[in-house]
Amino acid sequence: MKIIKPKKLQKGNTIEILGVSGRIKEYERIQRAKSYLEQAGYNVIISESCQTSHRYMAGLNTEDCLKEFHNAFLSDKVDAILCARGGFGTIKFINDIDWKIIKNNPKIFAGYSDITTLLNLIYTNTGLVTFHSPMANGDFGEEIDEYTKNAFFCALEGRVKCFKANDSTVFNIGKAQGKLFGGNLSTLVSLCGTDFIPNGDLILFIEDLNEPIYKIDKMLTQLFNAEKIKKNVRGIAIGEFLNIEDKKTLNEVIQEFALNLNIPICDGFRITHSKVKDTVPIGINAEFDADNGIITLLEDYVSE
């Protein structure tokens, strides 16, 4: 599969804030995000689906979200797509996505949480590099952390070379190379049964929040029951599992997986639902050094 690298973000570009997951409960946050990004030097438009909802999801209905998703890529006025929020909804329209639209109109696509679905499926089905990044509602729509803001713009401008873990625990030593792949663990697991796993060696990164440890254990087990995951994953970079009841028990669970998988694994990366987060490209070759808690990007991930 040929890798497609989106054009880097530049001042004066137009960013669309796209609502295709959870319902936007406080639209003023989206407006604040728009103002923030405009003050930073970008033009901003907001998809209509940020202002409508059905049940707990954005848009008038699932078909409306799919249409907004396609239109964001089709529009020659839009240079980058920043998702509004996570929640739930993206998995409901993945079987109807026209991948040719994305492949023929490549551009920055960014978000996290439930957007993990689209980040990985876009890459697997088109080769377009996507970005696990902060979003409009919970990040730019509030008082965004300075580190997070700088990491976001540095990444989308193509200036990030590596990611360094903070206070890392090493579960298995070693180095590995592969394409970065992953995101929110529970969202990844929801894709089991679909063709979501790329070919070739992978460096998997994972994070989650508000999940009991037994469910984290269950989700990791389910994910690695997928033969292609077990075969292709060469290392695991663990972000934050927020609001867990016992870090010691979680570490024991991860250590068991480390022993069984026998691949490099460490935690401490700023890949997270918390306010302080990195922006990580999906689909790019990287070296993962578990001993030192470093992910080094081995190629450019945006184009001029």
pLDDT per position as a tens digit, 62-116: 999 999 999 999 999 999 999 999 999 999 999 999 999 999 999 999 999 999 9
Q: Could you give phi then psi for residue 195, rounded to 5 degrees?
A: -90, 75
- Judged by DSSP in three states, 255 sits in helix
Residue 1 has pLDDT above 90, yes or no: no
Residues near 95 by Cβ (< 8 Å), separated by ≥ 6? none
Distance CA 175, CA 95 (A): 36
Q: What global pTM score does this model have? A: 0.98
Residue 202 has pLDDT above 90, yes or no: yes
Residue 60 has pLDDT above 90, yes or no: yes
Residue 187 has pLDDT above 90, yes or no: yes
What's residue 34's pLDDT?
98
Smallest CA-to-CA distance from 58 within 33, 34, 93, 32 is with 93
Give me the amino acid identity at 217.
D
- The alpha carbons of the chain give a radius of gyration, in whole angstroms, of 18
Domains of the chain: 14-156 (3.40.50.10740), 162-297 (3.50.30.60)
What's residue 292's pLDDT?
98
19 within 8 A of 68, measured Cβ to Cβ: yes
What's residue 146's pLDDT?
97
Residues near 111 by Cβ (< 8 Å), separated by ≥ 6? 82, 83, 86, 118, 119, 131, 132, 133, 135
Angle between helices 213-225 and 247-261 (to 10 degrees): 20
Where is 101: in which H helix or E strand?
helix 99-104
Q: How many CA atoms lie within 13 A of 23 on its CB side?
A: 9
Write the pLDDT tens digit of every residue in 205-261: 999 999 999 999 999 999 999 999 999 999 999 999 999 999 999 999 999 999 999
Write the pLDDT tens digit of every residue in 129-180: 999 999 999 999 999 999 999 999 999 999 999 999 999 999 999 999 999 9
Residue 262 has pLDDT above 90, yes or no: yes
Q: What is the DSSP letter of 90?
A: G
197 within 8 A of 232, measured Cβ to Cβ: yes
Query: What amino acid positions are annotated as catalytic residues?
Result: 113, 207, 273
Residue 127 has a CB neighbour count (10 Å cut-off) of 18
